[in-house]
Amino acid sequence: MALNVLSLFTISTFILLSISFVSISVADTNQTTPVSPGTICKSTPNPSYCLSVLPKQSGNVYDYGRFSVRKSLSQSRKFLNLVDQYLQRRSGTISTAAIGALEDCRVLASLNIDFLLSSFNTVNTTGKTLSALKADDVQTLLSAILTNQQTCSDGLQLASPSWSLKNGFSVPLSNDTKLYSVSLALFSKGWVPKNKKSTAWQPSKKQLPLRNGRLNLKMSQQTRVVYESVSTRKLLQTASVDDQVMVSDMVIVSQDESGNFTTISDAVAAAPNNTDGTNGYFLIYITAGVYEEYVSIAKNKKYLMMVGDGINQTVITGNRSVVDGWTTFNSATFAVVAPNFVAVNITFRNTAGAIKHQAVAVRSGADLSTFYSCSFEGYQDTLYTHSLRQFYRECDIYGTVDFIFGNAAVVFQNCNLYPRMPMSGQFNAITAQGRTDPNQNTGTSILNCVIRAADDLASSNVTFNTYLGRPWKEYSRTVYMQSDMGSLIDPAGWMAWSGDFALSTLYYAEYNNTGPGSNTTNRVTWPGYHVINSTDAANFTLSNFLLGEDWLPQTGVPYTAGLL
């Protein structure tokens, strides 16, 4: 994501002061009292636009919220139709790059319709503050809708800076973005509990009895025999029934034709559609080998678990890049949008190299997704944590410019972050977080990770600056906590994107890190940068930021719920 596209909507002055972790979600005691649209619009990022779209008669926040979400759903369908109209032409007036960007927009617009349908079903049946879990679900979906819209806009701008403006996409993209922002703000005000996230620090090291990429899988006896006969790592362990991960069925991918499939994509296609997880995960066991294929896991392949033979043993690799004509979004070697996805013991690579600029190894827009004991290898834009809620544990991540980027609500624990040698004249930025709206519940949280130079950078005689991150979007939010930072980190810590863009509205924070690169004495002095205490840091823990204790146990992956 190397394109600096400013947010498509104007942020009012009072919002600029709201850069703390807790999203704007004031649940007033008299939310059912009718107020004027002018009054309710003051709680949105763009009051003037809000006032132009809401009905003129008085109503309460729930009335306005339902109207806005319903109108958002209608607009999302119109936008998808617009994209389809242009794609059907595919004439010489549309460049190949623009067609690729439009195809991304079609995927994203389709997801937006799904998310808005789900959100509307909730707001249309409830006129009161929701439980923390339910509120987080809908706020996550509405946050992702804005992210999807921004991704579509960025792709069109990068594909052809003048094309989207000339062909009628600029106005609907801008207006729909502002409308989605109104919907998110009104939902946050009316349905999200005031104390949605706990701020009390409670040391917690809850970890399931699993280590080194091993899961205790609960299978049928027949499936277990097959699995044990082919697995060289013997992933099954003796543990209590409560610690077992349920598996409904299993297929084996093996290049020597000894399994069910020789390609991962064929195995994914064989997985059942739209399962609810009641009977467990559909397990794809991928034996050791280098799989040169592009894997895409569609939204209907829910509760899919992939287990390999280990980092550098099971490798999925590709080399798509922006330089070679792909969009950043579609350059990924491995892409997943299906909810409740789990990957274990796999290396994901993009071998395009630094010279090809943006080249993604993994793009995840999968809600409640988990990567455990995996490796992500690339240069610029290695790991695209695109949207929704994600968790990474004991993973290795290699890259150069913005190599962890996106706008998910994502937590990294016990991971190794390896800046590597960039091209001459470049720098390393570990993160580029893409939050565009103050009500999005998104951000990047990094706990108990280790930052060290990769071998090529460590052995180089050339010095390259390495930063913890830079603000890709206006409300960029990233926190490093209790992590070990090597000496390669620049004393300033963080890098500006362009001039003073986002320096007042971002939220960057550090808490109790160690190592020679953790000294905050000479850090940036931006208004949005903070050295925080344990109470503030607790907001970014797995338990509070992702409500992870409610969905991670079923994955069998170990985790730390709070601070160390």
User: What CATH number is attached to the domain comprising 105?
Assistant: 1.20.140.40
In a domain, 534, yes or no: yes
Look at residue 237 and tell me whether its pLDDT is greater than 60.
no
Please indicate, yes or no, if residue 55 is contained in any of the structural domains. Answer: yes
Task: Output the pLDDT for position 230.
Answer: 54
448 domain residue, yes or no: yes
What distances in angstroms separate CA 115 from CA 141, 271, 385, 431, one per listed residue?
Answer: 6, 23, 18, 27
Give the active site residue among 402, 437, 490, 536: 402
The model's pTM: 0.90
| Rounded CA separation 431/309 (Å) | 29
Sign of CA dihedral 155, 157, 160, 164: positive
Angle of helix 170-190 relative to helix 96-123, nearest 10 degrees, comes to 30
Final residue of a domain: which of 156, 191, 226? 191
Report the b/e string of 145-154 with b at 16+ CB within 10 A.
bbbbbbbbbb
Q: In the listed set 191, 222, 243, which residue is the last one of a domain according to the structure?
A: 191
Tokens of 402: 């913005």
Give the contacts of 222 (CB within 8 A, at least 6 positions apart): none
Q: What is the DSSP letter of 59?
A: B
d(CA 235, CA 466): 37
Specify the CATH number for the domain of residue 439.
2.160.20.10
Question: Which stretches of 373-440 are assigned E, i.e. beta strand?
Answer: 375-377, 383-385, 389-393, 396-399, 401-406, 409-413, 416-419, 428-433
Q: What's the start-to-end Cα distance of the chain, in Å?
A: 32
Q: List, in order, residues 6 or more apart from 458 with CB less than 8 Å away.
A: 452
In a domain, 368, yes or no: no
CA angle 99–103–106, rounded 5-degree value: 135
**What is the per-residue pLDDT across 161-217, written as a single tens digit (0 to 9) for each?**
777 767 789 899 999 999 999 999 999 999 999 875 544 334 443 333 333 456 666
Q: Indicate whether 241 pLDDT > 90.
A: no
pLDDT digits (tens, 9 = 90+) for 385-423: 999 999 999 999 999 999 999 999 999 999 999 999 999
Q: Which range, 89-98, 171-180, 189-198, 218-227, has the best average confidence (pLDDT)?
A: 171-180
Show the domain range for 515: 408-555
Weakest mean pLDDT among 87-101, 360-374, 422-436: 87-101
Comparing 15 with 445, which gets the higher pLDDT? 445
Joined together, the tokens standing for residue 196 give: 């949605």
Q: Could you write out the DSSP letters of every residue in 490-511?
A: -TT-B--SSTTTTTTT-EEEEE
What gap in Å lies between CA 355 and CA 537, rounded to an integer? 38
Number of domains in the chain: 2
Q: Does residue 91 sit within a domain?
A: yes
Per-residue confidence at 223, pLDDT binned at 50, 70, 90?
A: low
Predicted confidence (pLDDT) at residue 224 exceeds the cutoff of 80: no
Q: Which 3 state secondary structure label does DSSP give 349?
A: strand
- Give the DSSP H/E element, type plus range, for residue 364: strand 362-364
Distance of CA 69 to the CA centre of its chain: 23
pLDDT tens-digit readout, 31-72: 888 999 999 999 999 999 999 999 999 999 999 999 999 999
**CB 325 within 8 Å of CB 155:** no
pLDDT of residue 31: 80
Q: How far is 370 from 287, CA to CA, in rounded Å?
A: 20
In this structure, is residue 481 part of a structural domain? yes
402 is catalytic: yes
In a domain, 1, yes or no: no
Q: Tell me the C-alpha distance between 214 and 373, whole Å.
A: 9
- The mean pLDDT of 349-369, rounded to a whole number, is 97
Q: Which of 100, 96, 64 lies closest to 83 in space, CA to CA? A: 100
- Mean pLDDT computed over every residue of the chain: 88
pLDDT of residue 326: 95
Query: Phi and psi of 179, rounded to 5°?
Result: -65, -45
- The answer to whether the CB of 20 falls within 8 A of the CB of 165 is no
Q: Which of 51-65, 240-254, 328-342, 421-435 bottoms out in mean pLDDT, i.e. has the lowest? A: 240-254
User: Which residue stretches of 160-260 are H helix?
Assistant: 163-166, 170-190, 221-230
Q: Label residue 391 exposed, middle or buried (CB < 10 Å: 0-12, 13-18, 19+).
A: buried
Domain membership flag for residue 504: yes
Domain boundary among 156, 176, 191: 191
Paired with 370 in beta bridges are 342, 391
CA nearest 552: which of 385, 374, 409, 340?
340
The fraction of the chain above a pLDDT of 90, given in percent, is 78
